[in-house]
């Protein structure tokens, strides 16, 4: 990759640039990665059960999975690049096809479940990099989920791109705030309960907002 994990999450880079970078890299690498990439990801998560992220070296990773340092550098610039890629892969798998109005709750639930299933990995990253960096990653993930839902329900309506982005951003910030608070509290609350409560707040409101912004009848 041409941009490291830490540089990717620099405050100077816009969320739009981050999303475009993430999307392009996902297309470039494919959804599920090579065997070497997956092996390095598995080793990273295994080693995070034993020590914090800053203590893990490239030598630790290559020794754990039996891959040469040259092979590591063929795929990743540094460990934080591997962390970024692992987050992207988990996000793609979690979202799957649940990016529609009728299934967004399943998509969000799968995100919560994926985060909890990778609890040592997520908490290690959470405590090893700044909250702002974690926020940026979650923002791009939830924005993708919500903008797909908004675009689907906006079909047939005359709603500007700016207004659709505004609606998606509103829910993005709400969902990320809730998820960060959940992570901070050690992920104790049942994700299904959280999603059920969110669904009550969201149900019908996206459509209502789009209808409000519709300019056809004005």
- Terminal-residue alpha carbon distance, the chain: 48
pLDDT at 104: 76
- How far is it, in rounded angstroms, from Cα 183 to Cα 178? 9
Structure tokens at 102: 């009728």
Mean pLDDT, contiguous 10-residue spans, the chain (218 residues): 39 38 42 79 90 91 94 92 81 63 75 83 77 73 84 91 94 89 90 89 85 77
pLDDT at 65: 93
Q: State how far the alpha carbon of 133 is from the alpha carbons of 7, 40, 127, in Å.
A: 10, 22, 11
pLDDT at 30: 44
Can you say whether residue 87 is alpha, beta or left, with left for phi > 0 and alpha for psi between -120 and 50 degrees? Answer: alpha
> Which of 35, 21, 135, 31 lies closest to 81 in space, CA to CA?
21
In DSSP notation, 123-167 reads HHHHHHS-HHHHHHHHHHHHHHHHHHHHHHHTTTS---HHHHHHH
pLDDT at 10: 37
Q: 10 by DSSP, 3-state: which?
A: coil
Structure tokens at 20: 């475009």
pLDDT at 1: 44
pLDDT at 3: 39
- How far is it, in rounded angstroms, from Cα 72 to Cα 136? 26
- How far is it, in rounded angstroms, from Cα 192 to Cα 105? 9
Q: Taking the alpha carbons of 48, 110, 22, 135 in that order, is the dihedral positive or negative?
A: negative
Helix axes 205-213, 131-153, angle to 10 degrees: 70
* Contact (CB, 8 A) for 198 and 178: yes
Q: State how far the alpha carbon of 52 is from the alpha carbons of 59, 62, 65, 91, 172, in Å.
A: 15, 17, 18, 22, 29
Domains of the chain: 5-29+78-213 (1.10.357.10)
């Amino acid at each position: 990759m041409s941009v490291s994990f830490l540089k990717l999450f620099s405050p100077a880079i816009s969320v739009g640039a981050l999303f475009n970078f993430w999307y392009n890299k996902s297309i470039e690498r494919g959804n599920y990665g090579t065997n070497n990439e997956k092996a390095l990801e598995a080793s990273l998560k295994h080693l995070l059960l034993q020590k914090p992220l800053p203590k893990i070296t490239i030598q630790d990773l290559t020794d754990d999975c039996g891959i040469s340092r040259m092979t590591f550098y063929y795929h990743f610039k540094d460990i934080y690049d591997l962390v970024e890629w692992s987050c992207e892969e988990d996000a793609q798998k979690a979202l799957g096809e649940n990016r529609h109005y009728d299934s967004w709750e399943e998509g969000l639930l799968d995100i919560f479940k994926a985060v909890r299933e990778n609890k040592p990995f997520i908490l290690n990253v959470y405590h090893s990099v700044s909250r702002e960096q974690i926020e940026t990653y979650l923002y791009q993930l939830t924005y993708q989920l919500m903008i797909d839902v908004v675009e689907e329900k906006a079909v047939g309506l005359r709603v500007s791109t700016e207004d659709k982005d505004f609606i998606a951003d509103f829910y993005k910030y709400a969902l990320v705030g809730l998820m960060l608070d959940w992570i901070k509290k050690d992920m104790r609350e049942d994700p299904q309960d959280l999603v059920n409560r969110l669904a009550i707040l969201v149900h019908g409101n996206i459509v209502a907002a789009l209808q409000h912004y519709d300019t056809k009848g004005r």
